[in-house]
Amino acid sequence: MDTKKHNKNIVEQFSKQARGYTSITSHSDSLDKLISITSASKKDEVLDIACGSGIVSCEFAKHTNNVTGIDMTQEMLVEAKKMQTKLHLKNLTWLIGDVENLPYADNSFSIVVSRFGFHHFLNPLKVLSEMKRVCKPNGVVMVVDVSLPDSKVKKYNEMEKNRDYSHIAALSLTEFSDLFEKVGFKDVNTDFYSMKIELKEQLKASFPSDSIALKNMIIADVGVDDLGINVTEINSEYFLHYPIQIFSAKK
Ligand X SMILES: C[S@@+](CC[C@H](N)C(=O)[O-])C[C@H]1O[C@@H](n2cnc3c(N)ncnc32)[C@H](O)[C@@H]1O
Binding site residues, ligand X, CB under 6 A: 10, 14, 27, 50-52, 55-56, 71-73, 76, 98-100, 115-117, 120-121
Based on CB atoms, which residue is closest to ligand X, 60 or 185? 60
| Residue 14: φ, ψ to 5° | -80, -15
Based on CB atoms, which residue is closest to ligand X, 49 or 218? 49
Minimum gap (Å) between residue 55 Cβ and ligand X: 4
- Contacts of residue 235, defined as CB under 8 A and 6 or more positions apart, other chains included, come to none
Q: How far apart are CA 153 and CA 171, in angstroms?
A: 7
Q: How far apart are CA 239 and CA 245, in angstroms?
A: 19
Minimum gap (Å) between residue 175 Cβ and ligand X: 17
User: Quick check: 37 and 61 in contact, CB under 8 A?
Assistant: no
Minimum gap (Å) between residue 56 Cβ and ligand X: 5
Q: Is 137 helix (H, G, I), strand (E, B) or coil?
A: strand
Minimum gap (Å) between residue 44 Cβ and ligand X: 18
Minimum gap (Å) between residue 86 Cβ and ligand X: 16
- Contacts of residue 2, defined as CB under 8 A and 6 or more positions apart, other chains included, come to none
Closest-approach residue to ligand X (CB): 52
Polymer length of the chain: 251
Based on CB atoms, which residue is closest to ligand X, 14 or 185? 14
Based on CB atoms, which residue is closest to ligand X, 167 or 251? 167
Based on CB atoms, which residue is closest to ligand X, 7 or 232? 7
- Contacts of residue 4, defined as CB under 8 A and 6 or more positions apart, other chains included, come to none
Nearest to 245 by CA among 125, 118, 135: 118
Based on CB atoms, which residue is closest to ligand X, 55 or 183? 55
Minimum gap (Å) between residue 115 Cβ and ligand X: 3
- Contacts of residue 54, defined as CB under 8 A and 6 or more positions apart, other chains included, come to 48, 69, 76, 77, 79, 80, 81, 83, 84, 92, 94
